[in-house]
Amino acid sequence: MNEQNLTWHQGRITKDARTQLNGHRGLCIWLTGLSGAGKSTLANRLEEELYRRGIHTYLLDGDNVRHGLCADLGFSEEDRKENIRRVAHVAGLFVDSGVVVLSALISPFESDREHARAQFEDGEFVEVYVDCPVDVCAARDPKGLYDKAKRGIISNFTGISAPYEPPAFADVTVNTALQSVDECVAKVMKSILPKLGVNDEQAILEECEA
C-alpha cells in the first residue's frame, strides 16, 4: 500500500504519561556480537537485574524473533538488514510504551546498527558490544554452529564465511573472554541506570559497584 494513503494515528496517552506510570523511562539496550559471544546470556541476566528492581522489561532474542516476526528471512545481507529493521521497529514500539527492551542480535553491519539507533530519540538507545575473539566463540560453540560452518553445512555464517563489523563507537563494550558475567552486568547497569530516571538510581549504582 502506498504510504501516501496511510495516516499515523496519535494516541491520547503520551510517552511522558507512560513514564510517570512506570516510574522509569523506556530504553533500548542493543547487544551486538558474534554467535557464542554471550549476548543472550548477558541479556537474560540484565533483564533479571532490571526486573528485580521493578523495571518493566522485554527481551527480543535473535533466535526467537526468527520463529515468528522474521520467520520468512534467511541470512543473506539483504535479509539480515530486513531482520534488523523489523526488530528495531518493534523495539521502538516497546520504548514508546515505556518499556526497557533488550535486543540481542548478531547485527553484523555498522550501517544497520546505525539505522536501528536512528529510530530512537537521543538517550533511548544503548549499543552494547559483546566482544569476544572468534576462536573463543568457536571453542564455546554452544549450538554447534561453528562446526557446521567450518564444514560448509551452514553458509553466510558471521565470523567464518560472512563478515562482522565491530562497532566503532559502542556506548558500552564488555569482553566476555576476560570478564565474568557479573562484571559485564555491572558495567552495563552502571551505564543505563542514569538514562532510566529511576528514583533509587544512586542506591542501585552503589549496589552494582559493590
Whether 107 is a known active-site residue: answer yes
User: What is the pTM for the complete model shown?
Assistant: 0.90
Residue 178 labelled as part of a binding site: no
Torsion over CA: 131, 135, 140, 142 (sign): positive
pLDDT in tens, 65-107: 999 999 999 988 899 999 999 999 999 999 999 999 999 999 9
Please report which confidence band the pLDDT of residue 139 belongs to, taking 50, 70 and 90 as the band edges: very high
Domains of the chain, each with CATH number or no CATH:
22-209 (3.40.50.300)
pLDDT at residue 6 is higher than 90: no
Supply the mean pLDDT for the chain. 91
pLDDT at residue 199 greater than cutoff 90:
no
Q: What residues have CB less than 8 Å from 146, skipping those under 6 apart? A: 35, 36, 137, 138, 157, 159, 160
For residue 158, the 8-state DSSP code is B
60: which strand partners? Answer: 103
Q: For residue 32, what pLDDT is reported?
A: 98
pLDDT, tens digit, for every residue of 29-50? 999 999 999 999 999 999 999 9
Instruction: Check if the beta carbon of residue 26 is closer than 8 Å to that of residue 97.
Output: yes
d(CA 142, CA 158): 15
Nearest to 191 by CA among 123, 132, 138: 123
- The answer on whether 40 is annotated among ligand-binding residues is yes
* Whether 65 contacts 87, CB under 8 Å: yes
pLDDT at 181 over 90: yes
What backbone phi and psi angles, to 5 degrees, belong to 93? -65, -40
Known binding residue 35? Answer is yes
- Exactly one of 76, 103, 107, 180 is catalytic; name it: 107
Is it the case that residue 151 has pLDDT exceeding 60?
yes
Tell me how many degrees the CA angle 68-57-131 measures, rounded to the nearest 5. 80
**Does residue 26 have a pLDDT over 60?**
yes
Q: 137 to each of 18, 39, 76, 87, 110, how far by Cα in Å? A: 40, 11, 21, 24, 20
- Which residue, chain included where needed, has cell 515505556? 98
Render pLDDT for 10-21 as a digit per residue (tens, 0 to 9).
Answer: 888 888 899 999
68 is in an annotated binding site: no
Average the pLDDT over 179-202 and give the result: 88
129 has pLDDT over 70: yes
